[in-house]
Chains A and B, each alone.
Chain A
Amino acid sequence: MDLIADHISHRFGALDVLDKVSFTVRSGEVVAIVGPSGCGKSTLLSILGGLLRPSEGQAELRGAPPADSLNPLTFVFQDFALLPWCTVEENVAFPLAHTGLSPTERRAVIDDALRRTGLSDFRGTYPKQLSGGMRQRVGIARALAVRPAILLMDEPLSALDSQTRELLMEDFIRLLADGAMGAVYVTHNLEEAVRLADRIVVLSRRPGRVREVVTISMTRDERGAIDARGKLLALQNELWSLIREEAIDAEREVQHA
């Protein structure tokens, strides 16, 4: 199943946020969206996931989702969006309540999601008792439970410390390795983008337009090798040179606002 951004424009009142953004996320592909602060990355993701109606253009799906997918487009949120009154297990079970799965099937799905995210021993724990990294793992387990075709990840690591970020990045790479799931990964962190994505959509400053689509020529396996670090850093620098001037302008704009 492909996800298509078709000439998406969006305005908040008089403020133009996105301007005719178009690109396609192919089945199993990981596409990162980067750009200066305020360029509309998160707004674009909300539109792609059907949580926000665009002013113009539309988000489209092409092809059928996998037969067993309970929620083809599934978000992983920056702030985790966990229900604080529910345990880890109840949070993971939350999107399954209305899906028509039998209790046995539901139990199996929850167990599998908890096992894949290393949360099996934390079933009865409440979110307030967990670290930021563990909370995001719950968010990921909840997303995996519905067997998504495409994960929509809105800066999923930005609220975490650098060590936890690194650990979760390794988890993301592992989860997306087999190409069974695609992802749209919104980030301001270029290192995350080059390590995880197959293609990187670079947006201009507000109103966000597609400035460039950079294809990462290395496979994900190649990127994991130690001697690939130099190449990744070069890619990262290349991306930074693309957005640096606009990032400076955007920062000044925010400060003046």
Chain B
Amino acid sequence: MPSVRSSMLDRAPSQDRQQGDAAAKPRPVAFRGGGFTPAAGRYSGWIALALVIALWQLAGSAGWVNPLFLPAPSAIAVAIYKLAISGALWHHLSWSMLRIGTGWMLGTAAGVIVGFAIGLSTLARGVGITFISALFPIPKIALLPLLILWLGIGEEPKIATIALGVFFSTAISVYSGVDAVPRNLIRMAQSFNVPFHLIVRRVIWPGALPSILAGFRITASVALLLVVSAEMIGAEYGIGAFVLQAGNLMQTDQLLAGVVILSLFGLVVGKFINLLETRLLHWR
């Protein structure tokens, strides 16, 4: 028996591999697996941004472009500095923050509640999806005149416009997130007789959180877009109003200062959501 086993496990002598076509020279197998895995370089984005700003500054300093149409980055930085020193920047920014903060929170709270209802209830899904499908495509800024008519000319219509814009995107991301929670996890919880509220809190909420946070990223942009639009239509203070006034007065350095501040605001919100994702979705 041992001889049978050893004969079964015998390996072919290594020189056998070279028999057959001894004259042919071995060549390496060509590598074909590269590409399709783009990765963001750590510094490449910042270097590219610095290069563009340097080129822009050079164009301004050398007089290649009219500063009325495109002021140099240094001029924009000076404008931001002066706005900060004078207190105007904080005044405008605080009005915009108030509107965005209130509108975003109202829209998010309503969107999360409605999104969960649609994700968990047959009745709410039947009714809710129909309304959301019909109303979501409407540009919310188009409703501002109507909201002014209903709510007056104060802050309410602007906040309501932002809340509406945030609400629809939030509701959609929440019920999509609830739908995406693996059913096997819900069945598992049911198989242990876990009560409904605990399934929602311990299974569905954390399972839907990636989609909800992705929704927050979108709604932060929506809120920024809507606050600027609303302030341009009917506000005395706020970054949108400031940018519009600067444009009307041909103060392009101040106009671009407002745009840079909006961009910085977007970056800060994005970083905050990244932080939230890192803290809350560490298990991924």
Contacts and interface: CB of A to CB of B under 8 A. Distances in A.
Nearest to B183: A81
Interface string A125-164: 0101000000000000000001000000000000000000
Given A83-B206, A84-B283, A98 B194 contact: yes
B202 A51 contact: no
Given A97-B202, A126-B283, A128-B283, A81 B187 contact: yes
B202 A146 contact: no
Task: Determine which residue in B184, B189, B283 has the highest number of CB atoms from chain A within 10 A of its CB, and name it.
Answer: B283
Interface string A67-90: 000010111010101011110000
Contact of A77 (B188, B206, B284): B188
Interface in A44-79: 49-51, 71, 73-75, 77, 79
A172 interface: no
Given A51-B191, A84-B284, A128-B283, A94 B184 contact: no
A85 B204 CA distance: 11
Nearest to B203: A83
A128 B284 CA distance: 8
Contacts of B192: 71, 74, 94-95, 146
Contacts of B207: 85
Contacts of B34: none
Q: Secondary structure of the B side of the interface?
A: helix
Contact of B198 (A74, A97, A128): A97
Contacts of B283: 84-86, 126, 128
Interface residues of B, number: 18
A98 B191 contact: no
Contacts of B189: 94
Nearest to A73: B191
A51 B187 contact: yes
A178 to B, nearest CB: 23
Interface in A156-198: none
Contacts of A94: 189, 192, 194, 202
Interface string B149-192: 00000000000000000000000000000000000110111111
Contacts of B185: 81, 83
A128 B281 CA distance: 13
B122 interface: no
Nearest to A127: B283
A83 B187 contact: no
Most chain A beta-carbon contacts within 10 A, residue among B187, B188, B206: B188
A4 B81 CA distance: 80
A71 B194 CA distance: 10
B184 A79 contact: yes
B2 interface: no
B45 interface: no
B206 A75 contact: no
A77 B203 CA distance: 17
B187 to A, nearest CB: 6
A75 B188 contact: yes
A44 to B, nearest CB: 15
Given A51-B187, A71-B191, 4 more contacts: A86-B283, A94-B194, A97-B198, A126-B283
29 contacts: A49-B191, A51-B187, A51-B190, A51-B191, A71-B193, A73-B191, A77-B184, A77-B188, A79-B184, A81-B184, A81-B185, A81-B187, A83-B185, A83-B202, A83-B203, A84-B284, A85-B206, A85-B207, A94-B194, A94-B202, A97-B194, A97-B198, A97-B202, A98-B193, A98-B195, A98-B198, A126-B283, A128-B283, A128-B284
